[in-house]
Amino acid sequence: RDLAFAVFVPAASPSVQSIYQPWVDWFNAEAAADDVEITLYAGGTLGRNPLAQAQMVADGVADLALTVPSYTPGVFPDFDMFELPGFANNTREGSLAALELHQEGLLHGYENYYVAAMYTSGAYMIHTREPIESVSNLNGTRLRVAGQIQTAVVEALGGVPQNMSAGEMAENIDRGLIDGAMTDASVARTFRVADVAPNHYDANLGVLVFTIVMNRGVYDSLPDRVKDLLAQSGQFIADRQIESYGPAIETNMQAWEADAAHTLVIPTDAERAEIAARVQPVIDQVAAAATPGLIEAYEAKLEDIRSR
Amino acid sequence: MQRIERHFLFLTRAAAILGVFFLLLVAGLSVVDILVREATGRPIRGAADIASLLTIIIIAACFPAGLLERRQIKVTFLGAMMPPMVNRALEVFGALMTALMFLAIAYYVTLHAQRVSASAEYSMVLNMPIAPWWWVATACFWLCVPAQFFVTVAEILGHPAQEHEA
Amino acid sequence: MEPYTIGLIGMGVMLLLILLHVPIGVAMGVAGVATFGMIRGNLTPALTLFGVETVSKVGSSELAVIPLFLLMGSFATVGGLSADLYRIAYALIGHIRGGLAVATIGGCAGFGAICGSSVATASTMTRIALPEMMKRNYSERLATGSIAAGGTLGMLIPPSIILVLYGVLTEQFVKTLFVAALIPAVLAVALHVITILILVRRNPDLASTGERQPWSELGRALRSGWTAVALMIVVTGGIYAGIFSVNESAAVGAFLAFLIALFRGRLTLKGFWSALQETAATTPMIYLMTIGASIFTYAVTISGLPEMLVDGIRDTGLPGIWVVVLLMIMYLILGSIFETISSMVITIPFVFPLILSYGYDPIWWGVLTVMVIEIGMITPPIGMNVFVMKAMLPKTKLSTIYAGVAPFIVADILRLAILVAFPALSLFLVNMFNLPR
Ligand code: NA
Ligand code: NA
């Protein structure tokens, strides 16, 4: 049985190299006895549109696919909270919280699928040409954002959100079309944002959730031992993400701190309170759309993860 | 038959020209957006949202007339070498396959519109629902089906494509 | 049956459908869905591809630049901008032997910078430049040949619709492709001009010399045609200088072309409608091709044929450069029988992975592909530019035009060889501006 796994990011990207391919190799080795095999189609060869990936799995075009819930605003309201400032501090907190909340059945929206994995990026930061010393410097700053919640957050902080593809960010900052971008420290490096926007404001502004979903009918038809492997996959993938992505972010941050050409600003507690106050309307809006009590459960989960 | 085709052509062309007229508006909006951005440092809030939603109906609106104009890119040298009857049969076959594909497209675009309605998907900045735009696009694609069946019937009757007149 | 066997049959079915007068986009879509369904053992999911890909393409902002560039070209034609550019080129170099033909190339290049299509460039220059050349005793061969060949510059010089399609189908940045095409396009213009100069030197009867135009004529030409030059500078310069994104440049270009046509009083209501209608008729044609090509790509991917092809060719131990040369020859043959855009969209699912597997640069390859395919616009038996000109010139023999373009085809193939040998010509500006890849 050959399962088609569609991944819209390029085959050469770090997540394919250090997460999906190792996972597929592990899975195929373990599931060989049951004659089940996953074939990875990276780089969008099986569907280029990131927004269509989940639907393609529901339709049976692919059996598994990488999806990003925030790419389709309004469809997965339970996942908006991950993009809120002041919650998950890093890849580990975000990934474990998302995975465990899902495993506990608290996150809704993917009922028609089997969710094989769920993990997050690192915390969003603001990377700008001109230094951002405090949140008031953000007033009128044009920042590249991706998605509805980032848009709302940047507006709440006084900035001007602009949508564009990730590949265009660095060039547009360089040419002065925008002043900076809101991404985590790894994306900032991969897409060369840090080269043109050497001032980094690390205010813990939210994380991006990724899910790997499987067609429900396909899942139900698999032998129990393979289902068991899939049940372990969430942890397998989250661990790989935490092991590879987390340190990459740490390395970048240390390099920026050591480099005289870069500034790294970590806001004070008073500053964080100011940010929290400004984004409170966004938080209220997200809370109103999400399953009741979910945000509280998320906060409790983060406390729990930090205490481990 | 030809009279009906002319009316139909008029209707679909009107839709297409309206679509491209919106395209011109989008272009104008983009120019205003750039000017405002240069003058004030801030782009117009949500201009990109509106442009991308309008694009959906602009493109979809062009399809029915495009089909009726019969300007698809195809290779016709086989028919040119064959007797006229065979050529006509080939043209009918090509038109019929196109009609079937657009039947499928219209059906699946309808499913998409239903899904974005049900899931309440929104645009990024202005939080506008995107479903209505997809319903307009759906209507355009359904208009393609009779349009292409008309073309098929016209090919069966051996009517050539109507000359374009603006 | 093995997936690759089904894939091969699917390829055959697609080609058969194309042969049976099915529009190319439809043939690729239908064959793609059937093949995908057979390989996956279930037709129902495969059918949804009609929806997935239509929705993705109709909603794509990258593809949306195509109707905008088409609209700009339509308004530029209606507004008489090509005539202005030709007049300026003429005032500059019209007096030398063969100068009108050189001015035609110059006019084509200028118009190419505000129009994305080859056929539009060739047909508009046929209306403007051909009567001038015939009036001054140019040979019909040189006159028609230089217009047909110059017309290909419309597609080559950014903005180029086919480069946009390549970018969308292979996920490359359109802007980077545009910048990469700049030096090769300049090379194309230079080689076309050199071809004309060699031709008239060897056979002075081909063309007459004109009178040297007074500088005041250049001034007049510039005064009446400065808007055309300005549009050219805003559209392409805006992209290169990084003031606009490609989408913005297309939008600004379309709107400015509209304003220019309007304020010149050239835009009658009829002209306005026909410009809109021209765009409306061409847009779905290109979208349908893209939708079909994308659907077919699913079938090709899942069949495993590209990997087989890549492995098979690599196993022969053939050096990469020979693979490139063989692909170029394949495209020349395809380009001579197929319509240009189709030969690119049909082959990309196989050729692109092959090129990447040899470690070649996808941007460089994109420029090469467009260049080689563009040659197909003027080669027999099916050369779109030549056909369009023939349709406009009922008294001219098809063979005359083909004979006229022959020397330019030689120049084009020489240019291709230069670009294969020196990838830096395509990649120099991209690296200099540090553009996204
Ligand atoms: Na062009
Ligand atoms: Na040809």
- Output the pLDDT for position B162: 57
A59 and C40 within 8 Å at the Cβ level: the answer is no
Do the Cβ atoms of A58 and A47 come closer than 8 Å?
A: no
Residues of chain C found within 8 Å of residue A45, distances taken between Cβ atoms: 297, 301
Q: How wide is the angle at C-alpha A145 spanned by C-alphas A142 and A149, nearest 5°?
A: 120
A148 and B124 within 8 Å at the Cβ level: the answer is yes
pLDDT digits (tens, 9 = 90+) for A98-124: 999 999 999 999 999 999 999 999 999
Q: Is the ipTM of this complex over 0.85?
A: yes
Neighbours of B3 (CB within 10 A): 7
C301 and A45 within 8 Å at the Cβ level: the answer is yes
Residues C209 and C249 in one domain: yes
Do the Cβ atoms of A207 and A123 come closer than 8 Å?
A: yes
- Output the pLDDT for position C98: 87
DSSP-derived letter for residue B129 is B
> Which residue from C minimizes the CA distance to A4?
C302
Identify residue C362 by its one-letter amino acid code.
P
A188: distance to nearest CA of chain B, Å? 22
- Output the pLDDT for position C244: 81
CA atoms within a 13 Å half-sphere pointing along the CA-CB vector of A274:
13
Using the Cβ of B126 and the Cβ atoms of chain A, whether some distance falls under 8 Å is answered with no
Report the number of distinct structural domains present in chain C: 2
B139: distance to nearest CA of chain A, Å? 21
Q: Is residue C136 part of a domain?
A: yes
Return the bridge partners of A64, or none. A5, A214
Using the Cβ of B48 and the Cβ atoms of chain A, whether some distance falls under 8 Å is answered with yes
- Output the pLDDT for position C339: 66
Show which of residues 261-280 on chain C sit within 8 Å of chain B, judged by CB atoms.
270, 273-274, 276-277, 279-280
pLDDT greater than 70 at residue A164: yes
Note the maximum CA span of chain C.
75
Q: Is residue C71 part of a domain?
A: yes
Residues of chain C under the 50 pLDDT cut: none
d(CA A92, CA A239): 8
pLDDT digits (tens, 9 = 90+) for A44-95: 888 888 888 999 999 999 999 999 999 888 889 999 999 999 999 999 999 9
C29 and B74 within 8 Å at the Cβ level: the answer is no
pLDDT tier, A280 (very low <50, low <70, confident <90, very high otherwise) = very high
Do the Cβ atoms of A191 and A169 come closer than 8 Å?
A: yes
A45 and C435 within 8 Å at the Cβ level: the answer is no
Domain boundary among the residues C303, C331, C366 is at C303
Q: In the 3-class helix/strand/coil scheme, how is chain C assigned residue by residue?
A: CCHHHHHHHHHHHHHHHHHCCCCHHHHHHHHHHHHHHHHHCCHHHHHHHHHHHHHHHHCCCCCCHHHHHHHHHHHHHHCCHHHHHHHHHHHHHCCCCCHHHHHHHHHHHHHHCCCCCHHHHHHHHHHHHHHHHHHCCCCHHHHHHHHHHHHCHHHHCCCCHHHHHHHHHHCCCHHHHHHHCHHHHHHHHHHHHHHHHHHHHHCHHHCCCCCCCCHHHHHHHHHHHHHHHHHHHHHHHHHHCCCCCHHHHHHHHHHHHHHHHHHCCCCCHHHHHHHHHHHHHHHHHHHHHHHHHHHHHHHHHHHCHHHHHHHHHHHCCCCHHHHHHHHHHHHHHHHHHCCHHHHHHHHHHHHHHHHHHCCCCHHHHHHHHHHHHHHCCCCCCCCHHHHHHHHHCCCCCHHHHHHHHHHHHHHHHHHHHHHHHCCHHHHHHHHHHCCCC
- Output the pLDDT for position B164: 43
- Output the pLDDT for position B166: 29
Q: At what angle do helices A224-258 and A21-31 cross, to 10 degrees?
A: 160
Q: Which of A49, A164, A171 sits opposite C242 (nearest CB)?
A: A171
Going from the Cα of C159 to the center of ligand 1, the distance in angstroms, rounded, reads 4
Going from the Cα of B33 to the center of ligand 1, the distance in angstroms, rounded, reads 25
Q: Is residue C338 part of a domain?
A: yes
Residues C289 and C370 in one domain: no
pLDDT digits (tens, 9 = 90+) for C223-238: 888 888 888 888 888 8
Q: Is residue C277 part of a domain?
A: no
Instruction: Please say whether the dihedral angle defined by the alpha carbons of residues A107, A111, A115 and A119, taken in this order, is positive or negative.
Output: negative
Mean pLDDT of B137-156: 93
Going from the Cα of C382 to the center of ligand 2, the distance in angstroms, rounded, reads 4
- Output the pLDDT for position C390: 81
Do the Cβ atoms of C142 and C101 come closer than 8 Å?
A: yes
Higher pLDDT, B34 or C115: B34
Residues C43 and C163 in one domain: no
pLDDT greater than 50 at residue B121: yes
Mean pLDDT of A267-288: 94
- Please count the residue pairs, one from chain B and one from chain C, whose beta carbons lie less than 8 angstroms apart: 184
- Output the pLDDT for position A99: 97
Residues C43 and C124 in one domain: no
Neighbours of A262 (CB within 10 A): 18
Residue that is written with structure tokens 């899904």 in the block: B115
Residues C217 and C168 in one domain: yes
pLDDT tier, A265 (very low <50, low <70, confident <90, very high otherwise) = very high
Q: Is residue C406 part of a domain?
A: yes
- Output the pLDDT for position A58: 93
Q: Is residue C334 part of a domain?
A: yes
Closest listed residue to residue B90, CA positions, set A21, C27, A204:
C27
Going from the Cα of C372 to the center of ligand 2, the distance in angstroms, rounded, reads 11
Q: Is residue C437 part of a domain?
A: no
d(CA C153, CA A20): 44
Mean pLDDT of B34-41: 85
pLDDT tier, B64 (very low <50, low <70, confident <90, very high otherwise) = very high
Higher pLDDT, B13 or A98: A98
- Output the pLDDT for position C376: 84
- Output the pLDDT for position B165: 37
Q: Is residue C152 part of a domain?
A: yes
pLDDT tier, A9 (very low <50, low <70, confident <90, very high otherwise) = confident
pLDDT tier, B143 (very low <50, low <70, confident <90, very high otherwise) = very high
Residues of chain C found within 8 Å of residue B20, distances taken between Cβ atoms: 67, 71, 276-277, 279-280, 283
- Output the pLDDT for position A23: 96
pLDDT digits (tens, 9 = 90+) for A180-217: 999 999 989 888 899 899 999 999 999 999 999 999 99
Q: C400 lies in which domain range?
A: 60-267+304-432
Using the Cβ of B119 and the Cβ atoms of chain A, whether some distance falls under 8 Å is answered with yes
Residues C252 and C340 in one domain: yes
C22 and B58 within 8 Å at the Cβ level: the answer is no
d(CA C299, CA C291): 13
Using the Cβ of B51 and the Cβ atoms of chain A, whether some distance falls under 8 Å is answered with no
- Output the pLDDT for position B1: 66
Q: Which two tokens stand for residue C407?
A: 């020397």
Residues C6 and C73 in one domain: no
Do the Cβ atoms of A109 and A76 come closer than 8 Å?
A: yes
